[in-house]
């Protein structure tokens, strides 16, 4: 691929590099400490000439081609507090993709964890921020691995929303990650489903329709 965009800022992604692959996908590296020497020097000269640090630059495929194994930047903490590597894979249309689906092997033999079920009872219809009464229901592990049950039948009328507390784990790590996918069935019919294969920036404002932030 090739480096098609770099940005520099004191906030946000700090020093960020955007690599466009041959198939059009975009790889983003954020919070870098510095770019590779030639690119870094070009940006430094531009910053000095206009006496401005913040820039957002785009390049053609011939200017900074990249081969596998080539060093293009160094991780750091620009725009952030603690040093780390901010890594993303985006579609050709600039929509973030699930990076674990693109060549990153990891062992995952542990089932998701289901901690509690919450039922939100609404009087005036569901919408984020609408007042509601919340009923918390504890769950217990069932017979099979990854199986959970509740102690009694749940009865509800009117407008309701369901929320689950829990997450997923992978082998050798102590972190509790978010659910990759969720499905709600009534008898044999799926009435709600979601997965984390991709998201769009246009719909991030709808996050609270699928994530309970309280």
Residues 139-153 have pLDDT tens digits of 988 888 888 998 888
Q: Is the pLDDT of residue 214 over 80?
A: no
pTM: 0.82
Tokens of 151: 């102690």
Q: Is the pLDDT of residue 129 over 90?
A: no
Residues 53-78 have pLDDT tens digits of 999 999 999 999 999 999 999 999 99
By percentage, how much of the chain surpasses pLDDT 90? 59
Tell me what the pLDDT averaged over the chain comes to: 91
Q: Is the pLDDT of residue 95 over 80?
A: yes
Alpha-carbon gap, residue 44 to 38, rounded angstroms: 10
Determine the average pLDDT of the residues in 113-117. Answer: 91
Alpha-carbon gap, residue 18 to 47, rounded angstroms: 19
- Count the residues in the chain: 214
- Residue extents of the structural domains in the chain: 2-101, 113-209
Please give the CATH superfamily to which domain 2-101 belongs.
Answer: Glucose Permease (Domain IIA) (2.70.70.10)
Q: Are strands 26-35 and 132-138 parallel, antiparallel or unpaired?
A: unpaired
């Amino acid at each position: 691929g090739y480096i098609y965009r770099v940005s520099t800022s004191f906030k946000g992604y700090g020093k960020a590099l955007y690599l466009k692959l041959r198939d059009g996908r975009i790889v983003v590296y954020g919070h870098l400490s510095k770019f590779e020497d030639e690119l870094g020097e070009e940006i430094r000269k531009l910053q000095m000439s206009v006496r401005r640090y913040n820039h957002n630059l785009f390049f053609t495929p011939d200017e900074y081609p990249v081969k596998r194994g080539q060093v293009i930047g160094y991780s750091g903490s620009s725009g952030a507090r603690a040093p780390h590597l901010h890594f993303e894979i985006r579609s050709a249309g600039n929509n973030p993709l699930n990076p674990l689906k693109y060549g990153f092997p990891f062992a995952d033999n542990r089932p998701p964890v289901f901690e509690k079920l919450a039922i939100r009872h609404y009087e005036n219809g569901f919408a984020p921020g609408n007042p509601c009464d919340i009923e918390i229901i504890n769950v217990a592990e069932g017979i099979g691995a990854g199986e959970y049950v509740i102690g009694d039948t749940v009865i509800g009328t009117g407008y309701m929303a369901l929320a689950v507390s829990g997450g997923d784990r992978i082998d050798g790590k102590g972190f509790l990650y978010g659910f990759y996918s969720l499905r709600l069935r009534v008898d044999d019919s799926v009435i709600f489903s979601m997965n984390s294969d991709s998201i769009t920036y246009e719909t991030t404002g709808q996050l609270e329709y699928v994530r309970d932030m309280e």
